[in-house]
Amino acid sequence: MSYDEWFREDRLPHIYCAGCGNGTIINCTLAAVDQMGWKKEDTVFVSGIGCSSRAPGYILTDSLHTTHGRALAFATGVKMAKPAFNVVVFTGDGDMAAIGGNHFIHACRRNIDMTVVCMNNQIYGMTGGQGSPTTPRGCLSSTTPFGCAEPPFDLCELATAAGANYVARWTSYHVKELEKAVKVGLETPGFSFIEVLVQCPTAFGRRNKFRQVMDHVEFLKSHSLLKAKRDRMLDNHEHVPEDMFVVGELTKRNRPAIGVKP
């Protein structure tokens, strides 16, 4: 089997804009799922509301497209009722970190056995570009017309602090690394969280000096700082530039988990 056998062909084409990175993330996720050798009937995709959350609708398994922010709470019900299922959640920065923030930290705390792929485009894309909890300071959105004044969440630090067993961050540029990280996440018992910074040319790029899709992808690439390199810099007391973000495997541990497959 290959990843494209996991698509619902009768649902294509998808709704994503030209230049959107969500398709890349879905492909990487399905490639990792495919490598796990999982059966479709034992696998459930769950999501909330937003661009990211349309993903399960394109995947040929049982899938639950729920209410805004609540994907992890629904997924907790699915997984606890049937631990034999493989549960994967697609979510976004608005869905998971704003309205769903409480469910996020509690799912991490429970360390419930599921893998969460968060497509972080730093904006509410589907509804026309409103600011989200990960919109960087100074960035423009329809609700931060003078530049975002609030500091953003670091979702990975949040997941680590709240208790997740596996935490990684990559971007839509790093397809090989992302696929591998998702696979490690799927293999790790407990809560696995993979944040993927992704370009949104329609809602974010257009307002924030990334008129060309590749300009934003290039930015994501050039501003990624590998965790190993960052750690070396810190050891050497070097200055870590503030506009860089850390990518790589940030947390991997084996804390007690719930809902683990028998």
Is 102 one of the binding residues for another protein (CB under 8 A)? Answer: yes
Bridge partners (DSSP) listed for residue 141: 144
Distance in angstroms between the alpha carbons of the first and the last residue of the chain: 25
Q: Give me the least distance between CB of 147 and another protein, in Å please.
A: 32
Contact criterion met (CB below 8 Å) for 86 and 42: yes
Q: Which is nearer to another protein, 81 or 149 (CB)?
A: 81
Is 116 one of the binding residues for another protein (CB under 8 A)? Answer: no
Q: Give me the least distance between CB of 43 and another protein, in Å please.
A: 9
Is 206 one of the binding residues for another protein (CB under 8 A)? Answer: no
Q: In one letter, which amino acid is 24? A: T
Q: Which is nearer to another protein, 88 or 181 (CB)?
A: 88
Q: Give me the least distance between CB of 174 and another protein, in Å please.
A: 30
State how far the alpha carbon of 101 is from the alpha carbons of 63, 91, 124, 158, 260, in Å. 22, 12, 15, 10, 23
Is 56 one of the binding residues for another protein (CB under 8 A)? Answer: yes
Q: Which is nearer to another protein, 107 or 247 (CB)?
A: 107
Q: Is 63 helix (H, G, I), strand (E, B) or coil?
A: strand
Q: Which of 77, 138, 241, 256 binds another protein (CB under 8 A)?
A: 77
Contact criterion met (CB below 8 Å) for 60 and 40: yes
Q: Is 218 helix (H, G, I), strand (E, B) or coil?
A: helix
Q: Give me the least distance between CB of 54 and another protein, in Å please.
A: 8
